[in-house]
Each structure stands twice: as C-alpha cells, then as structure tokens.
C-alpha cells in the first residue's frame, strides 16, 4: 500500500501543518511516512505546498508527479495541480477561494467552502482542518478517529483548549464530503 | 525510545548533541539553517559552545582551533558556504585532527538556488581544498539514516583523526519522517595523546600543525595520511542493496536520488524485469569492489544523480568498460520523479546499448531534445 497526498495553498493557510497532522496520524498507525515541503526563500506569504507519502514499506520517492489525493486551498494551486491529478484520484478544493468548477471528470472533486465553515465554527484558522476532514472521507488509509487522536497526541498540552474546535472543523469537512460523494455515487460525478 | 516525526536538519543537529558535540561553529544558509537554529538553543542549554561566526571562513577556522583541543566539534553549511570553507578543511586534513562537516547541498554553481542538489560530489569526494587528502563522506537518504550517520561520523573522525563529511541534500534536510534519536551519551572528554589542551607543566609540549617546511618531512606526513586512507578504504565501505541478487540491470544512486530510484526499481520489478539498486551510503571510501562484482554479471548500469554526472565517473572506474553505463541526472536543484527514472529504465532494458566513454553526451541530447 502506498498513498501520496499533495497539499497546496497560500502561505498562512495551514498547508504545512495540515500535512504534518496527516503524517502524525499515519505514524501513530504504524505506517511509514514522509512529509516534505516545497520550501521557498520567503519568510512569509507566497505559495506553500507539501507532499505526504504513506506506505507500509520503506518509502522511495518522497515526491510524486501525479498525486492520487490532494487538498488545494486556493485558485493558483487548483489551476496548477488539477491537471496533474492521477486518474481516479480525490481532490478536495477550497470552494471559498476558487471561482470555477472542476475541469476533470475522471477524478472525484470535493468542493468545500472551507473558509466559511471555519468562520461558522469560530476561527478562520480552521480552514485547513475542514479540508483535511473532507479528504478523510475518501482516504481509507486514515480514519477520522485516528486523525483526531493524532491531534491530541502531538499538539502541545498548552494548545489542547483548541482541540474541540479542531475536531468540529474536521467533522464538518468530513460530513460535507460524505454528502457530496453520496450524491455523486447515485448520479455519477457531476 | 519511541519514534518521533522529525525534520532531517533538526534530527542531525540533535543527533550530534547526543553524540557528544561540545563545540559548534556555523553561519546560516538555506536549506541547512534549522541545524543552526536548533543548536543555538540546545548548546547553551547544555553549557556547550555555540558560535554563529561572522562568515563560513571564520567558522571553519574556529572548528580548526577547537578540534585541536580534542573535543567533538562540527560545522554545517550548504554548497556556497562549503566552498568558502575549503581552505580551512585542507588545513584540518593536513593537521590530521578529527572534525565533522554537514553539507546540505543546494542547486549551483554560484549562488544557484536553495533547492535540493547533489552537485558537490566531486568537491567532497575528489577535490575541495588543496593538497592530497581524503575525507570520509557519508550520504544519508532518510532522516533515520541522517541521525545514524551523524553519530557515526564523530566516532569515525576520532578513530582515524580524519575529516568526516555528511553529504546530505536539501530534501533530506527539509523532509520529516518518523525516526528514533539515540540516547544522550554522557559527555566523556578523552585525553587524546595528540590534543593540545594545556600541558600544565606536567608533560612534554605537543604541536599540531599543517606546516612541514622541510619537504621530506611533508612527504612522510603524506605517506602517513595515505596509510590512514588505505585503512579507511579497507574498513569503512558502506552501501545498501535492493533486489540485486538476480539483477540483470543495476541502478546506482545515492541520497535522495537513490531513494527516488528505488520507487522506479520497484515498478520495474512489478513488471517482472530484473532490476536492482545499489545505494552507496559511504561515497568515500566508495564501494568499487561491489560494483566490480556486479559488472561481471549485469547487462547494464544506470547511474542516477541530481547533478550532471559526478559519481558516474566512479561507477565507470569500477565497471571498466565491460558493460554499458547509462546516465540520468537532474542538475540545478531539480529532483527527479520516479516516473522519469522508470522511463529511462524502460529505454535501457528494451534497446541495444552501446558502450560509450561518456554517457553524458547522449543524456544531454535526450534532456534538451
């Protein structure tokens, strides 16, 4: 088993942390995992992306040209990575930050208004967790429960007061994706 | 000890601390800066020396001075910074004292960029500073290996009174993987019989120097260094084999290029083609004998590097023209994808290859077509 997940967006959207949470969950499940950022010269801002590889044997490449799973949090990364997705892959796109629908009919696209959902829960900074929750609905390698446990296990104690809102964000994203894929399953994607 | 998710740079820094690093001198440069950042906090906390020098030139000369006292000392940098250190490294080599350098290589030449590269192979393994000397060069491909090799580097440096380089690349430095750090070793300051650490009026004066004004004395020093190097060559060859037992085609790659190649090799095996991978872990001394043996039974070699073909020369040296040696490289800060190496492997395993003296010619034609 091997699964590669690409996460991309603007710096500050929690792209790198979203990848790390997935990596922690995979590690706690006893999997092999790599997390690698595409690091730039900027201190802040700009674009950010990272790749997480989860496997049950020694991982070769930490990078992948055609990811089977992706979370894309803004329009530039949606435009850049949608064409590169592996056929049959799962793409979670942040509908709050893009002004177009999917161009690919051969992948599953989950559109989540992650900014709005995060604000409803009470903090824009939860955008990444809403998107991660949405991906988990289509990621058999990591369950929602395993991810919640990873957050609790690896978030420093002083941040534990933030756990309930993070759990809520994951849950909302997860449910949104289930609804969408449920509809898709009955009618064909789009 | 349990595994933790840890970044390569931080892992190497903490591994050095736990291996007994007593003095660190460095200057920040991407993609290596987290080493410095971690040690800036950790070393003073433990009452050990951390100095952010005014330049790489200063840093390496501080390393030289500290190494003469016999404590465990290290500096880290990335390609352009390591170029600045070459004079000091030659002096350290000529003085025959232990020191550890980590180079987290980036795209070059010149200022280049901060993306991962492997273009300092020649500099580390075959060149660098002036004069005849041979550092031990170790090339990690994962965070765990980076930890293990960092610990090993201090032991080897002291054992042979020799320079040890960790030749990592930006990818190994920036990547996070679950890994296990070693236990903290108690700090034992050994009283080496060569160290200049204050005779206190109790013993004969010791002299450490790289100056041998009298050429016959310098010649003897060179013979001594060569003897050390030949011992190192006997003892310290390190490599990892994947699917080589029945391999008809052999991929050779180190560090990140080696692990990316592993994905392509597995894909070929999945298709029933007998491809194997040799990943040299020590680049100096190099596993010439292993390649020599493989060349007696393989149909062809593919060397994969993140440069224009540097380790390629050493593979050719071992193969001695018996079978074709092909090359695939991505220079300038580019990291190959497994699919690209897979394409090369499909080409190599399905065409009649010729033995050529310089596979870079055909490689460049393919890359720029």
**What are the φ/ψ torsions at residue B159 (nearest 5 degrees)?**
-60, -40
User: Omega before B285 cis (within 30°)?
Assistant: yes
Q: B178 to chain A: which residues are within 8 Å by CB?
A: 27, 32-33
CB contact at 8 A, B261 and B345: no
> What is the reported pLDDT for A41?
65
Q: What is the CATH number of the domain that holds A134?
A: 3.40.920.10
Report the residue from A39, A60, A65 with minimal CB separation from B174: A39
> Which SS3 state, helix, strand or coil, does residue A64 take?
coil
**What are the φ/ψ torsions at residue B112 (nearest 5 degrees)?**
55, -130
Helix (H) or strand (E) holding B49: strand B49-52
What string of pLDDT tens digits covers the 369 residues of chain B?
Answer: 589 999 999 999 999 999 999 999 999 999 999 999 999 999 999 999 999 999 999 999 999 999 999 999 999 999 999 999 999 999 999 999 999 999 999 999 999 999 999 999 999 999 899 999 999 999 999 999 999 999 999 999 999 999 999 999 999 999 999 999 999 999 988 889 999 999 888 899 999 999 999 999 999 999 999 999 999 999 999 999 999 999 999 999 999 999 999 999 999 999 999 999 999 999 999 999 999 999 999 999 999 999 999 999 999 999 999 999 999 999 999 999 999 999 999 999 999 999 999 999 999 999 999
A35 touches chain B (CB under 8 A): yes
User: Omega before B66 cis (within 30°)?
Assistant: no
What is B4-235's CATH number?
A: 3.40.50.970
ipTM: 0.93
CB contact at 8 A, B249 and B298: yes
Structure tokens at B58: 């200063």
Candidates B6, B112, B172, B178: best to mutate against A (most CBs of A within 10 A) is B178
Q: A154 to chain B: which residues are within 8 Å by CB?
A: 5
> Which SS3 state, helix, strand or coil, does residue B18 take?
helix
Structure tokens at B189: 């300051």
Domain coverage including residue A132 = 2-187
Domain B240-368, CATH class in plain words: alpha beta
Q: Is the pLDDT of residue A189 over 60?
A: no
DSSP 8-state code for residue B53: -
Q: For residues A15 and A71, give the distance between their C-alpha atoms in angstroms, rounded to a whole number.
A: 9
Sign of CA dihedral B72, B78, B79, B83: negative
List C-alpha distances in Å: A53 to A69, B59, B299: 10, 37, 33
Query: Tens of pLDDT along A114-136?
Result: 999 999 999 999 999 999 999 99
Structure tokens at B138: 């170790």
Residue bearing tokens 């090993």: B152
Domain ranges of chain B: 4-235, 240-368
CB contact under 8 A, A23 and B176: yes
Question: Domain tally for chain A?
Answer: 1
Q: A16 to chain B: which residues are within 8 Å by CB?
A: none
Q: For residues B90 and B135, give the distance between their C-alpha atoms in angstroms, rounded to a whole number.
A: 10
CB contact under 8 A, A63 and B260: yes
Query: Tens of pLDDT along A36-95?
Result: 998 766 656 678 899 999 999 999 999 999 999 999 999 999 999 999 999 999 999 999
One fold for B4-235 and B240-368? yes
Which residues on adjacent β-strands are paired with residue A55?
A2, A32
- For β-strands B176-179 and B325-329, DSSP reports them as unpaired
């Amino acid at each position: 088993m091997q699964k590669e997940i690409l996460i991309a967006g603007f710096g500050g959207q929690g792209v790198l942390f979203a990848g790390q949470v997935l990596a922690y969950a995979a590690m706690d499940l006893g999997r092999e995992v790599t997390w690698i950022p595409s690091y730039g010269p900027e201190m802040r801002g700009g674009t950010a992306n990272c790749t997480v590889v989860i496997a049950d044997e020694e991982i070769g490449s930490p990078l992948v040209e055609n990811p089977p799973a992706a979370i894309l949090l803004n329009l530039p990364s949606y435009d850049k990575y949608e064409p590169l997705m592996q056929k049959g892959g799962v793409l979670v796109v942040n509908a709050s930050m893009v002004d177009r629908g999917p161009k690919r009919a051969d992948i599953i696209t989950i559109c989540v208004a992650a900014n709005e959902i995060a604000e409803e829960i009470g903090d824009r900074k939860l955008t990444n967790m809403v998107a991660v929750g949405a991906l988990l609905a289509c990621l058999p390698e990591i369950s929602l429960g395993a991810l919640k446990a990873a957050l609790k296990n690896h978030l420093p104690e002083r941040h534990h007061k933030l756990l309930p809102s993070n759990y809520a964000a994951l849950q909302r994203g997860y449910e949104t994706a289930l609804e969408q894929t449920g509809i898709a399953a009955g009618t064909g994607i789009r | 000890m349990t595994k933790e998710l840890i970044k390569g740079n931080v892992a190497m820094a903490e591994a050095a601390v736990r291996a007994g690093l007593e003095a660190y001198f460095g200057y920040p440069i991407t993609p290596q800066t987290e080493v410095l950042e971690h040690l800036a906090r950790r070393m003073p906390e433990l009452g050990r020396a951390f100095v952010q020098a005014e330049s790489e030139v200063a840093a390496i000369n501080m390393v030289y001075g500290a190494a003469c006292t016999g404590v465990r000392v290290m500096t880290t940098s990335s390609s352009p910074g390591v170029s600045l250190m070459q004079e000091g490294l030659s002096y350290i080599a000529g003085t025959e004292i232990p020191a550890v350098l980590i180079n987290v290589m980036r795209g070059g030449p010149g200022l280049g960029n901060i993306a991962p590269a492997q273009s300092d192979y020649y500099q580390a393994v075959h060149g660098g500073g002036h004069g005849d000397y041979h550092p031990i060069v170790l090339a990690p491909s994962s965070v765990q290996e980076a930890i293990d090799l960092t610990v090993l580097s201090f032991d080897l440096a002291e054992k042979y009174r020799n320079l040890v380089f960790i030749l990592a690349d930006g990818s190994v430095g920036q990547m996070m993987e679950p890994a296990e750090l070693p236990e903290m070793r108690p700090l034992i300051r050994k009283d080496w019989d060569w160290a200049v650490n204050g005779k206190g009026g109790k013993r004969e004066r010791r002299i450490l120097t790289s100056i041998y004004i009298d050429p016959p004395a310098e010649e003897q020093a060179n013979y001594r260094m060569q003897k050390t190097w030949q011992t190192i060559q006997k003892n310290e060859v390190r490599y990892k084999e994947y699917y080589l037992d029945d391999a008809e085609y052999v991929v050779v790659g180190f560090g990140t290029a080696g692990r990316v190649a592993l994905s392509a090799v597995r894909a070929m095996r999945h298709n029933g083609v007998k491809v194997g991978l040799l990943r040299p872990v020590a680049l100096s001394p190099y596993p010439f004998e292993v390649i020599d043996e493989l060349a007696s039974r393989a149909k062809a070699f593919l060397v994969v590097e993140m440069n224009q073909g540097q380790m390629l020369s050493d593979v050719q040296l071992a193969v001695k023209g018996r079978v074709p040696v092909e090359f695939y490289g991505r220079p300038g800060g580019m990291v190959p994808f497994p699919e690209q190496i897979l394409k090369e492997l499909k080409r190599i395993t399905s065409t009649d290859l010729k033995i050529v003296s310089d596979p870079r010619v055909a490689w460049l034609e393919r890359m720029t077509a």
